[in-house]
Structure 1
């Protein structure tokens, strides 16, 4: 038996395959649907998603396998793999009659009880351009495969690669595919049912103690699990794409609430203390990449009646990573309308200075890790102070996050910070609770 050669970049290929974290996982209905479609399109009794590991090929999905092998299995040896040839060459492989092909005539799957005769496979190319395995169809009878069918197989292999990429992102977020599917359906229903609520954390003037604004933070009022913090559902929202409608809903709710506070009579709004409140709302990278992001922002302002200058959109380095000219243009249009931009978690990423130059934010928010480090050592104080000084020198408003002690507040004020937020002033609260607290202060 002639063994297939290894891919020219076999080490990199294996590392790429393992990064997907899909080997030895359970059944996947979406992959099964693609293998079923492949079998039907080519009129074959069985189709497989075969991922080529170091010494085996593992079947991430198998449709009709028992009709060919006579038994159900999830893997075979690598040396018996037809797909290894498609991986090595990164080309579709068609074998009309394996018994007449010198590469496969004495293959154990051909000479053994499986009696494989015909094969067609297309490589599954991962995100870094390296083949992970192949989508293939097999038959126990010699046969020809039409060129159109082989082309369709290649297109389905691309769909398999896209699905595996989604699974990789799910795994990176600590999510199982079934969890994403079930929870995204539940989250979609929750959004439609109005179960999203917004809590607000005040942004305080360190000198006077007056409230300058609030940051809007989403919660899910789950009918069975109670009030859920963002970490319990935002990973699913990101993985499923529901972060777009979720973000739209939060933006509208937050703008509407703060507009109501600003317009309320002084007697019901803390003696007029809410009249000039502004609100900060986070935007995800997925939202920023949507072509209608500018319309979403302007619609929220129109519907709520909130002045544009009372809204700040908070952007993180994560949300900005990989964005291009389309996002730059959208943010420029938003700023032209009067909305302010804030760079959140400032100092925690590798490209903070690049984003300062690229987006020229109105506000930088010093991450809580730098606030917590104040007073720990001279080195920590110097680092935090340099970040604050950089923001101030560039003409940005500097907001410190995660302030928990009066000592931290004093140190920040001495470093030139005027506004801050954190549990020292108030945890995030529901709108009614926050208004009551504001009224008590008034």
Structure 2
């Protein structure tokens, strides 16, 4: 999946989270990379944070919406660098982003430097953003899969071309190298 497409799409969703929930920052946490906070005051400014941040992990583990308030008074988070220092997070709302097989792909998170209590309506909205993020990720994966199928068909066409031109040994070698099995078994698996 092209990370640039994913980041661009998720950054747009993060902006929507900020505006919809009236929070200071929003982020999507995906295990394979760092997350970016999007600041309400300056949407292009980003502060890098690890994908294994405590709130994101708690949301993933709960597999449900997690709402936290007064984080600077919560013993579990009081020493968190983002609570104790800039940006002085005081409120958090997060939801897991699920894949097609109900696996947790990551989290969508809303943070605020102000003290804030998130309503049940806010919690429904963050779940909707998680569904949208899941759709973005799945769509990008699908488009990459389609590209791979097209590349695969081109490769098979090239191998057939070698065989038709009398280079059967080269075609057999390519199929064996790709599939680690005999050409007949490979083509049987394709059909």
TM over 0.5: yes
CA RMSD of aligned residues (A): 3.6
- Work out whether 1:58 is the aligned partner of 2:68: no
Structure with higher RCO (Cα < 8 A, 6+ apart): 2
TM-score (norm 2): 0.69
1:174-198 Cα deviation digits (max 9, x unpaired): 59xxxxxxxxxxxxxxxxxxxxxxx
Q: Please, which runs of 5 or more residues in structure 1 have no aligned partner?
A: 1-19, 176-230, 236-317, 319-344, 349-366, 388-442
What SS class does the counterpart of residue 46 from structure 2 fall into?
coil
CA distance in 2 between partners of 1:73 and 1:100 (Å): 23
Which residue of the partner structure matches residue 34 of structure 1? 13
Q: Which has the larger radius of gyration?
A: 1
- The alignment covers a number of residue pairs equal to 166
Determine helix, strand or coil for the equivalent of 2:57: helix
Instruction: Pick from 117, 125, 130 the counterpart of residue 103 of structure 2.
Output: 130
The 5 A counterparts of 1:93-242 are: 93-172=66-145
Please tell me whether residue 47 in structure 1 is matched to residue 26 in structure 2.
yes
Deviation of 1:45 after TM superposition, in Å, equals: 2.1
CA distance in 1: counterparts of 2:114 and 2:46, whole angstroms:
19
Task: Map Cα deviations across residues 64-112 of structure 1 (whole Å, 9 max, x no partner).
Answer: 26669xx62243362x431111112211111011112222111111111
Q: Distance in 2 between matches of 1:134 and 1:376?
A: 51
TM-score, with normalisation over the residues of structure 1? Answer: 0.32
Instruction: Tell me the residue number matched to 1:73.
Output: 47
Q: Which structure shows the higher helix fraction?
A: 2
C-alpha separation between the residues in 2 aligned to 1:375 and 1:21? 36
For structure 2, list consecutive stretches of 5 or more residues without a partner in the other structure: 173-183
Q: How far apart, in 1, do the equivalents of 2:66 and 2:42 lie?
A: 22
